[in-house]
Chain A
Amino acid sequence: MPALTPWEELVTTALLGTDRRALSTPGKEAPLTLLDQAAAQTVRRRAGLRPAPAAAPPQPAADDPRPPLPPAARQRLATLLTDQPGSGGSGRRGAAPDLMELLPQWLSLANARGYGAPPELLPALLNAARGRTDLRPQALTFAGPRALWLARLNPDWKFALRSTPGGGMALPDPTDTAQVQQLWEEGLFAERVALLTTLREHDAQAARALLSTTWQTERAEDRLMFLDTLRTGLCEADEPFLEEALTDRSRNVRATAAELLSALPASALAARMAARAASCVAVDHVASTPTLTVEAPHECDAAMERDGVVAKPPTGRGERSWWLGQLVDSAPLNSWQGRLGNRTPTEIVALPVADDWRGELHAAWCRAAVRQRDAAWSRALLGTPASPDAAGPGAVSLAERAKLLASLPPRERADWVAGFIAAHGLSEAFQLLGVCAVPWAEPLGRAVVDALNIARDAGSYPWSFSGVMGLAERCLDPAEAVRLEALTAVPDESENASPGAGGYWSEAFQRLVTTLRLRAAITTELTP
């Protein structure tokens, strides 16, 4: 056993006590001698502190070539990140803006302008993205390579490595064929998906060619993931490859291939589906007014299954209507005009449908219009915004309407929703507002503000409209702030109003105006 150092001797003696263990140098009073010696040793030990040997320093983070933020924008970001959720006490929102809600917009603007993140704000940024998955893609793009470097050092930020294709590793330049080929052959699955995704964005043909080289030898679940990358830049040149995949061993791969082919109206599969669907729907000219008659398929044959039709319906649905739906939503919409007496989509949609098939048929057309991004059919199926069944649970649900709206040009979309709000108020409009371009076009913004104003005059509390209010804060054009100023005054309490509602409305409009001002400032600050 090695001899104890004088200091270790002292610590042992102190633990046991001087009554049990005598000091080697007896002095005045044993405990005081011990304390004297310990004091000298302690000061000596501290004064003699030496630095430790250096550990191997980390690999430096990759350079971020993006320009730094302008100072005002940097400050704004720091302020937005200070506003962590849950740090305030009260439930009521008051007149001050919700800064955290502006972060997504701030990030998308900063990314659009190509700025790099200030390093000292990366921890706060990563923590914000950790708590809010919806924020992650934008936040990680903005955070750049140094955030991934940080994430490798702190387990709390592991999500950043997962959310970034290839775990933030450097992918070869898409034009470097040799490097691309090597990573495709030797890379891990995640790296290969990342490579294929990047390549597909850069050169769709090359990506498909690369996939073809190893397609036969890939595992079924890998084939499915790889096939999914074809959604980006899908075009007619992909058809032979997809047609081949229709005979794949895996049912999921076959279904995905069929779905992709049906989104190509000129494909052979689309033509086959068109023929099948056409045989089910006809115009009955014998009736007093022309009427659509529907004869759903009687069987799902092997050829249909090969083209992706799922034979077994989900519980609660009839087989024949299930098959009909699949045929109609995979058939190219432009095939119907010739089939149904050269009518326009609007005229076709207006035709009465015999035997309660209307809902089934229109729902399938809606799915087709969404998949094929067909504006004319979307417009026809949406109908006029003011029509009474536009708000009700008619043939086309609000969720489907929202999807159909997405196929229309932004301005038309905004006008339709503005019309809808004018006719039906705000309570059903939330979903539809979500698909409108930001900032809202002027007529849409006015429709929303007018509707809020009407709701206020009706005497209800603003929090019944907090969803729309929140959207308005994020989506209204900042230029509207001037017009809204008048609404921030506390109105006289009317008889049928809920107690105190006027004050709360004034507060809500104040918050709206302040938020719009803030958004205008954010845009200015991020403009070089």
Chain B
Amino acid sequence: MTQQGVRWTADQVLALAPDAPSRKAGSKLGVAGPWSEAGSSGEGTVWGLCKGSGSKPYQTVVDITCAGEAAGPAYKCSCPSRKFPCKHALGLLLVWAGQDGTVPEGEPPAWAEEWLATRRKRTAEKRSSPPSSTPADPEAAHRRAEKRAERITAGVTELEQRLSDLLRGGTAAAEQTGYGLWEETAARMVDAQAPGLAARVRELGAIPSSGHGWPVRLLEECALLHLLDQGWLHREELPDELAATVRSRVGLPAQPQGPPLRDHWLVLAQYDTADSKLTTRRIWMYGTESGRTALLLSYGAAGRAPSLALPVGLALDAALSWYPGGIRLRADLGEQFTAPAPTPLRPPGVRVSEATAHYGEALRKDPWLESHPVTLADVTPTQSTDGWQLTDPEEDLALPLSPSAASRPGLWRLVALSGGAPLTVFGECGHRGFTPLAAWPKDAEGTIPLC
């Protein structure tokens, strides 16, 4: 599948790097010099020996197909680095992407073949015995779930009390009480095993110091938190899908359901957000045949990169299965049938007014939704008196960019790509504004990532 001419770009390779220093170190090794005996197989594996400071060169193998593994590319390197992928794996992929003939097609040497064979065997075993979805002891599992639901209900009840107290005394006082009160409440929600509530409560605590307009934002967030509390308390009366949404918003784990959908999935965007404990990676995918959009989530413990990495602009033939809920955006990557490869395809866009309408409709199924993925056709980044916006010349309407998007370097890449002319932009459209994540200029090929 990975024949000459459809290799990855340097950007796509560097997108796999766990952090900025790795990107830098990797790009320095992305030249022929330190590499020897490098090669690649037609099936999507790359290997090579990299000269380090020691006498023995490091052995590096990368498998970019990872058929059936659902974990993006897999790496193996004899270096002592704990970074994953290490700089050698990144450098090797860069050399491979460079297409200067340093990485010819060939048969893997014994040391690479050994690892590849083990991997293939493990994958085959996994496929022949898929993990059963029913737990070993359904009775015990049921008791555990009941117990957890009770604790959440207790937490929810306490949270309702806190919100009541706040509004009885008035939110004006919230400016003085500071962060401590909310930190404590968030900790109580963690104890109640409701991490979704805990996260919302923590954000609530930051609002009073968030500048102009905070009373409106605080009331909005208190009201939505109250709505979620009530949703949990009345979950038995809700339609199935809304009840599933409430459960997942509260923070109960779920499993993907229903038959997987096989399609050619174009990777639209990949970006990380991090707090002190966890790095969350979001990957947006677009099914070029089904027209569906999917969100893959992957997590990494503090300071470590999430394991799943898919380079933006590539497409892969894979099966996805969705989590239950009203919107059905979140999915898991199931079996992959090909390695990610470049594609000229791009998602079709909508007009600006349709984008806000889509968000409005999505709120009906999930009132807690911050934003909704959308591709805008023919919009021009424009500076207005209130900041940047994407204008739709056809409708004479515009979507303002969200404040966070307007302060990111991706904004200038978008403006530069446009040069004052309309282009296609994918992003998240919500009540805070539009956050551009990828763009396709009129007469150029390929997806340009903006995040």
A35 within 8 A of B: yes
Q: A14-B215, A87-B21, A146-B416 are in contact. Are A49 and B360 (CB under 8 A)?
A: yes
State in angstroms the CA–CA spacing of A87 and B20 once bound together: 8
Q: Is there an interface contact between B382 and A60, defined as CB atoms closer than 8 Å? A: no
Residues of B within 8 A of A42 (CB): 219-220, 223-224
Residue ranges of B at the interface with A (Cβ–Cβ < 8 Å): 9-11, 14, 20-21, 23-25, 27-34, 51, 53, 55, 94, 97-100, 160, 163-173, 215-216, 218-220, 222-224, 226-227, 352-353, 355-356, 359-361, 363-364, 367, 380, 382-386, 389, 391-393, 395-400, 409, 412-413, 415-417, 419-421, 430-431, 441, 448
B residues in contact with A46, CB < 8 Å: 359-360, 363, 430-431
Q: Are the CB atoms of B360 and A48 closer together than 8 Å? A: yes
Which A50-101 residues have C-beta < 8 A from chain B? 50-61, 71-72, 75-76, 78-79, 82-84, 87-89, 94-97, 99
Count A-B contacts at CB 8 Å: 229
Scoring A residues 8 to 22 as 1 if CB is less than 8 Å from chain B, else 0, what string do you get?
A: 001100111111100
Q: With CB as the reference atom, state the residue of chain A lying closest to B20.
A: A87
- CB-contact partner of B383 in A30, A55, A88, under 8 A: A55
- Min CB distance B192 to A, Å, is 20
CB neighbours of A408 from chain B (8 A) = none
Of chain B, the residue at the smallest CB distance from A16 is: B170
Give chain A residues whose Cβ lies under 8 Å from the Cβ of B53: 94-95, 503, 507
* 105-137 of chain A: CB within 8 A of chain B: 119-120, 122-123
Interface residue ranges of A124-177 to B (CB < 8 Å): 146, 149-150, 153-154
Which of A50, A53, A96, A146 neighbours the largest number of chain B CB atoms within 10 Å of its CB?
A96
| CB–CB B397/A51 < 8 A | yes
Q: Is the CB of A514 within 8 A of B31?
A: yes
- B167 lies within 8 A of A14 (CB): yes
Residues of B within 8 A of A334 (CB): none
Provide a sorted-by-A list of 13 A–B residue pairs whose CB atoms are within 8 angstroms: A15-B170, A16-B172, A20-B170, A39-B226, A42-B220, A43-B363, A47-B359, A52-B398, A79-B14, A96-B29, A154-B412, A517-B31, A521-B32
A153 to B384, CA, bound (A): 12
Interface contact A120-B416, CB-CB below 8 Å: yes
Complex CA distance for A82 and B28, rounded to whole angstroms: 10
Report if A51-B392 is in contact (Cβ < 8 Å); known contacts: A119-B416, A517-B33, A521-B32: yes
Q: Is the CB of A99 within 8 A of B27?
A: yes
A72 x B383 contact (CB < 8 A): no
State whether A49 and B392 are in contact (beta carbons under 8 Å apart), knowing that A31-B168, A87-B20 are contacts in the complex: no
Contacts of B219 in A (CB 8 A): 10-11, 14, 38, 42
Q: Told that A55-B384, A55-B391, A96-B28 touch, could you supply 12 new A-B pairs with CB distance under 8 A?
A: A11-B216, A31-B164, A35-B167, A38-B219, A39-B224, A45-B431, A46-B360, A47-B360, A52-B386, A52-B398, A58-B383, A78-B9
> Within the complex, what minimum Cβ distance (angstroms) separates B159 from chain A?
11
A35-B223 contact in complex given A47-B364, A96-B28, C-beta closer than 8 Å: yes
Task: Kindly list chain B residues whose C-beta atoms are within 8 Å of the C-beta of A525.
Answer: 100
A60–B356 contact, CB under 8 A? no
Identify A35's interface contact among B216, B222, B413, CB under 8 A.
B222
A363 CB within 8 Å of chain B: no
Interface centre among B33, B224, B360, B419 (most CB of A within 10 A): B33
A355 touches B (CB below 8 Å): no
7 closest A-B pairs by CB: A17-B170, A514-B33, A55-B384, A96-B28, A60-B420, A38-B223, A51-B397
Please state if A54 and B34 are interface contacts (CB–CB under 8 Å): no
Contact status B30-A79, CB under 8 Å: yes
Q: Which residue of A lies closest to B356 (CB)?
A: A49
By a CB distance below 8 angstroms, the chain A residues around B392 are: 51, 54
Partner of B417, one of A16, A82, A120: A120
CA distance A507 to B363 in the complex (A): 59
A510 within 8 A of B: yes
Task: Kindly list chain A residues whose C-beta atoms are within 8 Å of the C-beta of B227.
Answer: 39, 43
Once A47-B364, A60-B419, A96-B28 are accepted as A-B contacts, the answer to whether A29 and B164 lie under 8 Å apart by CB is yes
Knowing A14-B219, A15-B171, A75-B98 touch, does A58 contact B164 (C-beta < 8 A)?
A: no
Contacts of B448 in A (CB 8 A): 120
Residue of A nearest to B419 (CB): A61
**Residue of chain A at shortest CB distance from B227:** A39
Q: Are A38 and B220 in contact (CB under 8 A)?
A: yes
Q: Which of A11, A34, A57, A71 contacts B420 (CB 8 A)?
A: A57
Residues of A within 8 A of B (CB): 10-11, 14-20, 29-32, 34-36, 38-39, 41-43, 45-61, 71-72, 75-76, 78-79, 82-84, 87-89, 94-97, 99, 119-120, 122-123, 146, 149-150, 153-154, 490, 503, 507, 510, 513-514, 517-518, 521, 524-525
Hey, which chain B residues are within 8 Å of A122, CB to CB? 412, 416
A6 to B223, CA, bound (A): 15
What A residues does B352 contact at CB under 8 A?
A: 51
Establish whether residues A123 and B416, one from each chain, have CB atoms under 8 Å apart when the complex forms: yes
Determine whether the beta carbon of B220 is less than 8 Å from that of A49.
Answer: no
With A35-B226, A79-B30, A518-B31 in contact, is A89–B364 under 8 Å at CB? Answer: no
Q: How far is the CA of A46 from the CA of B379 in the complex (A)?
A: 22
Closest to B219 in A: A14
- Complex Cα gap A56–B385 (Å): 10
Q: Which of B11, B28, B383, B384 contacts A83 (CB 8 A)?
A: B28
Specify which chain B residues have a CB less than 8 angstroms from the CB of A35 in the assembled complex. Answer: 163-164, 167, 222-223, 226
Say yes or no: A79 contacts B27, CB within 8 Å. Answer: yes
Question: Whose C-beta in chain B lies nearest to the C-beta of A118?
Answer: B444
- In this complex, the member of A38, A53, A89, A510 whose beta carbon has the largest number of chain B beta carbons within 10 angstroms is A38
Chain B residue at smallest Cβ distance from A489: B55
Which A residue's beta carbon lies closest to that of B431? Answer: A46
Q: Which of A15, A16, A54, A71 contacts B382 (CB 8 A)?
A: A54
Q: How far is the CB of A128 from chain B (nearest CB, A)?
A: 13
User: Pick the contact of B169 from A17, A153, A517 — CB < 8 Å?
Assistant: A17
- CB neighbours (8 Å) of A30 from chain B are 167-168
Q: Could you tell me if B94 and A119 are in contact, using CB atoms closer than 8 angstroms?
A: no
Q: How far is the CA of A153 from the CA of B413 in the complex (A)?
A: 13
Give Cα A152 to B289, complex, Å. Answer: 42
CA distance A52 to B398 in the complex (A): 5
B25 to chain A, nearest CB (A): 7
Distance from B109 Cβ to chain A, minimum over Cβ atoms (Å):
22
Cα-based distance from A79 to B95 in the complex (angstroms): 12
Contacts of B215 in A (CB 8 A): 11, 14-15
Q: Which residue of B lies closest to A522 (CB)?
A: B31
In the bound complex, CA of A55 to CA of B386 (Å): 10
Name the distance in Å between A277's Cβ and chain B's nearest Cβ: 56
**Out of B11, B168, B382, B420, which one reaches A61, CB within 8 Å?**
B420
Contacts of A43 in B (CB 8 A): 224, 227, 363, 367
Q: Which of B9, B24, B51 contacts A82 (CB 8 A)?
A: B24
Query: Which one of B20, B170, B389 has the highest number of Cβ atoms from chain A below 10 Å of its Cβ?
Result: B170
Q: How many angstroms from the CA of A120 to the CA of B313 in the assembled complex?
A: 14
Contact assessment for A514 and B398 in the assembled complex, using a CB-CB cutoff below 8 Å = no
Q: Flag if A14 contacts B420 (CB, 8 Å).
A: no
Q: Which residues of chain B are within 8 angstroms of A52 by Cβ–Cβ distance? A: 384, 386, 389, 397-400
B431: chain A residues within 8 A (beta carbon): 45-46, 49
| Smallest beta-carbon distance A33→chain B, Å | 10
* B226 to A, closest residue via Cβ: A35
Which residue, of B25, B53, B219, has the highest number of chain A Cβ atoms within 10 A?
B219
Q: Which chain B residue shows the least CB distance to A519?
A: B31
Given A79-B94, A521-B31, A55 and B360 contact (CB-CB distance below 8 Å):
no
Q: Which residues on B sit within 8 Å (CB–CB) of A514? A: 31, 33-34
Contact of B28 among A11, A71, A97 (CB under 8 A): A97
User: Smallest CB-CB separation from A18: which chain B residue?
Assistant: B168
Closest to A525 in B: B100
* Contact partners of B216 in chain A: CB under 8 A: 11
Contact B172 A15 (CB under 8 A): yes
In contact, A79 and B10 (Cβ under 8 angstroms): yes
Q: A48-B360, A120-B413, A123-B412 are in contact. Are A99 and B441 (CB under 8 A)?
A: no
The residue on A at minimum CB distance from B399 is: A51
